[in-house]
Amino acid sequence: MQRWDVISVGDTATDVFIRLVDGKTKTIEDESGRWLMFPFGEKLPFDHTQTVECGGNAANAAVAFAQLGLATTFVTHVGDDQVGRDIQLALGREGVDTHLLRVDPHVPSNRNFVLWFGEDRTILVRHQLYDYHWPHLRPSEIPRWIYLSSVGSDAPEYYSQLVEWLDEEPSVRFAFQPGTFQIALGTCALANLYRRADLLVCNREEAAEIGGGNLHDTADLLVRLHALGARTVVITDGPAGAFASDGTTRYRVPSYPDPAPPIDRTGAGDAFSATLVAAILKGYPLSTSLAWAPVNAMSVIQQVGSQAGLLSAGEITQCLERAPAGYSVTEW
């Protein structure tokens, strides 16, 4: 068995995109946010559907790692059904090893429905409750990095097993991009994951929920996340770019300019996080790695789905070589 550059960990799902059309469907905004609205109890026209067999945060990251030339395997669960078989085949086509994928014959595979309207989407998700257990890894399989993202709601013991293993393998670096159910468990419940994180990536709203503090005070958010134990913290902020801290120096990187209006924003955050980890793994400093990450995020939102636009390392380098003068990582 080979030693892996990175093991991605988390649930996977087949994503069914449903392209909604203008007319009865619209968006509205109020003081609580932006809402997708359509009539209740009516038949709604849609333009078309498109299926991505192996979606989900951790799967998107695994495919991004493979596209960037890293030896990648994936710890995940699927059901013993056609959806699960399609997921395995799709991962294999993308260059992701699946020997740590577990088939649960008693639980169906995850399937999400993505309501795609304009350039954004609302995702209907349901994580099945699998029999989560951290796998036994042979010494030759010990990875350089573990990347953890979204897992179903019933996995506290799974996290304990992972932390115990990470503590036994101090040379393995750990990246954590918490998903919805993980954040909902509460910061105290996942204190050991945050403590062990070499890299923690989340968006601004998630940062405030995880660490507390002022949503609009980036420096305060970074300090509070460091206080949980994370060595390097990155907060993404949509079109405003991203902010990072290694505990000594703080950095800001803008979004990489879009060559055309975005088509679909699904997977942009996963592309950003995975590319950041990949660049660090390749030996680049944090400042350079931060320049890589928005490039892949920009490319993903130019195509439908969370993986179609993912770039190779060479393609990212080419984009950086022709980046506009205003695109740079700065200290603040």
| Tokens 């695109």 found at | 327
Across 56-108, the runs of DSSP E, i.e. the strands, are 72-75, 77-79, 102-104
Strand pairing category for 102-104 and 46-55: unpaired
The two structure tokens encoding residue 152: 């179903």
pLDDT in the model for residue 311: 96
Burial code of 148-168, b = ≥16 C-beta within 10 A, e = fewer? bbbbbeebeebbeebbebbee
> Could you give the percent of the chain with pLDDT greater than 70?
99
| 63, 67, 308 from 95: Cα distances, Å | 7, 8, 14
pLDDT tens digit string along 53-100? 999 999 999 999 999 999 999 999 999 999 999 999 999 999 999 999
Is it true that domain 6-11+56-109+129-331 has CATH number 3.30.230.10? no
pLDDT at 263: 80
**CA–CA gap between residue 325 and residue 296 (Å, rounded):** 18
Q: What is the pLDDT of residues 199-258, one digit of tens each?
A: 999 999 999 999 999 999 999 999 999 999 999 999 999 889 999 999 999 999 999 998
Q: Which helix (H) or strand (E) holds 242?
A: strand 242-245
pLDDT at position 1 over 60: no
Residue ranges of domains in the chain: 6-11+56-109+129-331
Average per-residue pLDDT for the chain:
94
325: which residues sit within 8 A by CB, 6+ positions away?
Answer: none
Residue-level pLDDT at 23: 84
pLDDT at residue 265, as a whole number: 82
Confidence band, pLDDT 50/70/90 cuts, at residue 303: confident
Residue-level pLDDT at 81: 96
> For residues 15 and 125, what is the distance between their CA atoms, to the nearest angstrom?
9
Cα(309)–Cα(311) distance, integer angstroms: 6
Contact 170, 193 (CB under 8 A): no
Can you give the pTM of this predicted structure?
A: 0.92
| Predicted local distance difference test score (pLDDT) of residue 152 | 87
- Give just the sign of the alpha carbon dihedral 318, 321, 327, 332: positive
Q: Is the pLDDT of residue 286 over 90?
A: yes
How far is it, in rounded angstroms, from Cα 214 to Cα 132? 35
**Chain center to CA of 185:** 18
**How many other C-beta atoms can be found within 10 angstroms of the C-beta atom of residue 3?**
12
Determine how β-strand 13-20 pairs with β-strand 46-55: antiparallel
Count Cβ atoms below 10 Å from residue 205 Cβ, excluding itself: 12
How far is 291 from 295, CA to CA, in rounded Å? 7
Handedness of CA 234, 237, 239, 245 (dihedral sign): negative
Residues in the chain: 332
Which strands, in side-by-side order, build the sheet including 242-245? Answer: 72-75, 6-9, 145-148, 173-176, 199-203, 232-236, 242-245, 250-253, 330-331
Looking at residue 33, its pLDDT comes to: 85
pLDDT confidence tier of residue 2, bands split at 50, 70 and 90: low
pLDDT band at residue 259, thresholds of 50, 70 and 90? Answer: confident
Q: Is 89 helix (H, G, I), strand (E, B) or coil?
A: helix
